[in-house]
């Protein structure tokens, strides 16, 4: 485990067993069965066809498809922000309940929303998160992540004073400042310049090598090619498993 990454180092003892690879064993990091997602009350309001998929620990699933096909909606259901209209979703061997301490200790997300405390600087944000999650060498880790995400010059700035790309970098850094077994990222490439997208891809490859599972919705062929081990292609008529190569071809054909 590299010095830059807390992974599970800060997980309180009460939640550690739930989140360790040993405890996970061969249990899929994500398992869905006929999962139906959408914003209405009934199956008729589903935004895409049902999804049945297993993702093993340490793998990276790219969710691809045209605008509005349901990628973000699916990710929201994966992390319990949206109740399924039908079917089941399990994360790390348990039905999703984002209120459970063990779930929150293991699942790190960067979703669409861009939330931050207006009264805390970039550095203070990251420190708050790291300490809230019980990370032991929080200050050093925050310094490393600020550097990795190119925010050294803006560490003392308020989030409202950042450019949109810098705010995105802060949110991404926040995902890596806390323990995690599963990373769920909604279009993590958004608003990043080419150099930062490349660095993010390398970071995600390193995460996988450390056994972290990655679930990401993306429109970025390079990210799929570099990071994904498998893919899910969402279309109106069907949701298909495909290879990263198949996903890249699908993105390029959109």
Ligand X SMILES: Nc1ncnc2c1ncn2[C@@H]1O[C@H](COP(=O)(O)OP(=O)(O)OP(=O)(O)O)[C@@H](O)[C@H]1O
Length of the chain: 254
Q: Which one of 65, 159, 179, 188 is in contact with ligand X (CB under 6 A)?
A: 65
Q: Judge residue 99's burial from the number of C-beta atoms within 10 Å of its C-beta, 0-12 exposed, 13-18 middle, 19 or more buried.
A: exposed
Q: How far is the CB of 31 from ligand X (least distance, A)?
A: 21
Q: Dig out the tokens for 216 from the structure.
A: 């990401």
Exposure string for 59-90, b = 16+ CB within 10 A, e = fewer: bbbbbbbeeebbbbbbbbbbbbbbebbebebb
Stretch that binds ligand X, among 2-10, 18-26, 63-71, 164-172 (CB under 6 A): 63-71
Contact call for residue 89 and ligand X (CB under 6 A): no
Contact call for residue 47 and ligand X (CB under 6 A): yes
Contact call for residue 166 and ligand X (CB under 6 A): no
Give the torsion sign (CA, 146, 147, 150, 153): positive
Q: Which one of 6, 28, 50, 70 is in contact with ligand X (CB under 6 A)?
A: 70
Which CB atom, from 30 or from 77, has the smaller least distance to ligand X? 77
Contact call for residue 12 and ligand X (CB under 6 A): no
Which CB atom, from 17 or from 236, has the smaller least distance to ligand X? 236
Which CB atom, from 10 or from 65, has the smaller least distance to ligand X? 65
Q: Judge residue 115's burial from the number of C-beta atoms within 10 Å of its C-beta, 0-12 exposed, 13-18 middle, 19 or more buried.
A: exposed
Q: Which one of 5, 73, 108, 166 is in contact with ligand X (CB under 6 A)?
A: 73
- Interface ranges with ligand X (CB under 6 A): 39, 47, 65, 67-73, 217
């Amino acid at each position: 485990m590299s010095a830059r990454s807390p992974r599970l180092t800060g997980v309180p003892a009460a939640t550690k067993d739930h989140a360790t690879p040993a405890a996970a064993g061969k249990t899929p990091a994500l398992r869905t069965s006929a999962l139906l997602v959408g914003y209405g009350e009934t199956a008729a309001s589903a935004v895409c066809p049902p999804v049945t998929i297993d993702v093993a620990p340490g793998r990276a699933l790219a969710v691809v498809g045209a605008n509005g096909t349901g990628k973000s909606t699916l990710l929201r259901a994966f992390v319990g922000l949206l109740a399924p209209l039908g079917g089941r979703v399990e994360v790390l061997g348990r039905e999703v309940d984002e209120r459970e301490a063990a779930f929150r200790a293991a699942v790190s997300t960067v979703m669409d929303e861009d939330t931050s405390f207006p009264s805390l600087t970039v550095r203070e944000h990251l420190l708050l998160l790291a300490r809230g999650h019980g990370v032991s060498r929080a200050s050093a880790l925050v310094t490393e992540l600020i550097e990795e995400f190119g925010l050294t010059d803006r560490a003392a700035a308020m989030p409202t004073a950042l450019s949109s790309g810098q705010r995105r970098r802060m949110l991404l850094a926040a995902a890596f400042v806390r323990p995690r077994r599963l990373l769920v990222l909604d279009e993590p490439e958004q608003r990043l310049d080419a150099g930062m997208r490349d660095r993010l891809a390398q970071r995600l490859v390193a995460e996988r090598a450390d056994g972290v599972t990655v679930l990401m919705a993306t429109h970025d062929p390079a990210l799929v090619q570099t990071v994904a081990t498998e893919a899910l292609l969402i279309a109106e008529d069907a949701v298909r498993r495909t290879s990263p190569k198949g996903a890249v071809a699908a993105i390029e054909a959109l």
